[in-house]
Structure 1
Amino acid sequence: MNHSGAANNQRPAVEVTKDRNGIGQVVLRNPRGASARISLHGGQVLSWRTDRGEELLFTSTKAIFKPPHAVRGGIPICFPQFGNRGSLEQHGFARNKIWVIDDNPPPLHPSDSLGKTYVDLLLKSSEEDLKTWPHSFEFRLRVSLAADGYLTMISRIRNINCKPFSFSIAYHTYFCISDISEVRIEGLETLDYLDNLCQKERFTEQGDALTFESEVDRVYLNSKDVIAIFDHERKRTFTIRKEGLPDVVVWNPWEKKSKSMVDFGDEEFKQMLCVDGAAIEKPITLKPGEEWTGRLELSVVPSS
Structure 2
Amino acid sequence: MGHSAAVWDYRAAIEVTRDWNGIVQVVLRSPQGASARVSLHGGQVMSWKNNQGEELLFTSSKAIFKPPKSMRGGIPICFPQFGNLASLEQHGFARNKIWAVDENPPPLHPNDSDGKSFIDLILRPSAEDLKCWPHSFEFRLRISLTTDGSLLLISRIRNVDGKPFSFSFAYHTYLSVSDISEVRIEGLETLDYLDNLCQRELCTEQGDALTFESEVDRAYLCCTNAIAVIDHGKKRTFVIQKEGLPDVVVWNPWDRKSKSMLDFGDEEYKQMLCVDGAAVEKPVLLRPGEEWTARLELSVVPSSFCSDNLDMQKTCF
TM-score (norm 1): 0.95
Which residue pairs with 1:266 in the alignment? 266
CA deviation after TM superposition for structure 1 residue 15, in Å: 1.2
What is the CA–CA distance in structure 1 between the aligned matches of 2:159 and 2:271, rounded to whole Å? 39
Alignment size in residue pairs: 294
Task: Please list the CA deviations of residues 162-206 of structure 1 after superposition, one character each: whole Å capped at 9, or x if unmatched.
Answer: 000001000000000000000000010001100110011110000
Which residue pairs with 1:145 in the alignment? 145
What is the CA–CA distance in structure 2 between the aligned matches of 1:210 and 1:303, rounded to whole Å? 16
> Within 5 Å, which residues of 2 pair with 1:174-189?
174-189=174-189
Q: Which letter maps to 2:40? A: L
Asked if structure 2 preserves the Cα contact closer than 8 Å seen for 1:12 and 1:28, the reply is no
Change (3 A) 1:149 1:25: same
> SS of the residue aligned with 1:158?
strand
Q: Which moved further from structure 2: 76-85 or 251-260? A: 76-85
Q: Which letter maps to 1:65? A: F
Asked if structure 2 preserves the Cα contact closer than 8 Å seen for 1:12 and 1:31, the reply is no
Asked if structure 2 preserves the Cα contact closer than 8 Å seen for 1:186 and 1:229, the reply is yes
What is the CA–CA distance in structure 2 between the aligned matches of 1:173 and 1:208, rounded to whole Å? 23
Which residue pairs with 2:191 in the alignment? 191
Which residue pairs with 1:207 in the alignment? 207
CA deviation after TM superposition for structure 1 residue 85, in Å: 4.4
Which residue pairs with 1:16 in the alignment? 16
Task: Please list the CA deviations of residues 133-166 of structure 1 after superposition, one character each: whole Å capped at 9, or x if unmatched.
Answer: 0000000000000011010000000000000000
> SS of the residue aligned with 1:214?
coil
CA deviation after TM superposition for structure 1 residue 270, in Å: 0.1
Q: Which letter maps to 1:281? A: E
Task: Please list the CA deviations of residues 23-74 of structure 1 after superposition, one character each: whole Å capped at 9, or x if unmatched.
Answer: 1101000111110000100000000001110000000000001011110000
Q: Which letter maps to 2:186? A: E
Task: Please list the CA deviations of residues 229-260 of structure 1 after superposition, one character each: whole Å capped at 9, or x if unmatched.
Answer: 00001000000000000000000000000000
Which residue pairs with 1:27 in the alignment? 27
Which residue pairs with 1:237 in the alignment? 237
Percent pairwise identity: 77
Structure 2 unaligned residues grouped into runs of 5+: 1-10, 305-317
CA deviation after TM superposition for structure 1 residue 86, in Å: 5.5
Q: Which letter maps to 2:260? A: S
What is the CA–CA distance in structure 2 between the aligned matches of 1:209 and 1:86, rounded to whole Å? 35
Which residue pairs with 1:8 in the alignment? none
Which residue pairs with 1:257 in the alignment? 257
Q: Which letter maps to 1:33? A: G
Which residue pairs with 2:52 in the alignment? 52
> SS of the residue aligned with 2:210?
coil
Q: Which letter maps to 2:147? A: A
Asked if structure 2 preserves the Cα contact closer than 8 Å seen for 1:79 and 1:92, the reply is yes
Q: Which letter maps to 1:232? A: H
> SS of the residue aligned with 1:47?
strand
- Is 1:106 aligned to 2:106, yes or no? yes
What is the CA–CA distance in structure 2 between the aligned matches of 1:61 and 1:39, rounded to whole Å? 18
What is the CA–CA distance in structure 2 between the aligned matches of 1:291 and 1:122, rounded to whole Å? 14
Which residue pairs with 1:5 in the alignment? none
What is the CA–CA distance in structure 1 between the aligned matches of 2:249 and 2:105, rounded to whole Å? 30
CA deviation after TM superposition for structure 1 residue 12, in Å: 5.2
Task: Please list the CA deviations of residues 73-125 of structure 1 after superposition, one character each: whole Å capped at 9, or x if unmatched.
Answer: 00000000001145310000000000011132111111111111100000001
Asked if structure 2 preserves the Cα contact closer than 8 Å seen for 1:12 and 1:116, the reply is no
Which residue pairs with 1:300 in the alignment? 300
What is the CA–CA distance in structure 1 between the aligned matches of 2:173 and 2:212, rounded to whole Å? 17
Asked if structure 2 preserves the Cα contact closer than 8 Å seen for 1:248 and 1:278, the reply is yes
RMSD: 0.8
TM-score (norm 2): 0.92
Which residue pairs with 1:7 in the alignment? none
Asked if structure 2 preserves the Cα contact closer than 8 Å seen for 1:12 and 1:30, the reply is no
Which residue pairs with 1:3 in the alignment? none
Which residue pairs with 1:84 in the alignment? 84
Asked if structure 2 preserves the Cα contact closer than 8 Å seen for 1:102 and 1:121, the reply is yes
Change (3 A) 1:244 1:86: farther
> SS of the residue aligned with 1:259?
helix
Which residue pairs with 1:121 in the alignment? 121
Which residue pairs with 2:307 in the alignment? none
What is the CA–CA distance in structure 2 between the aligned matches of 1:237 and 1:98, rounded to whole Å? 33
> SS of the residue aligned with 2:20?
coil
What is the CA–CA distance in structure 2 between the aligned matches of 1:130 and 1:202, rounded to whole Å? 34
Which residue pairs with 1:71 in the alignment? 71
What is the CA–CA distance in structure 1 between the aligned matches of 2:31 and 2:192, rounded to whole Å? 42
What is the CA–CA distance in structure 1 between the aligned matches of 2:246 and 2:100, rounded to whole Å? 28
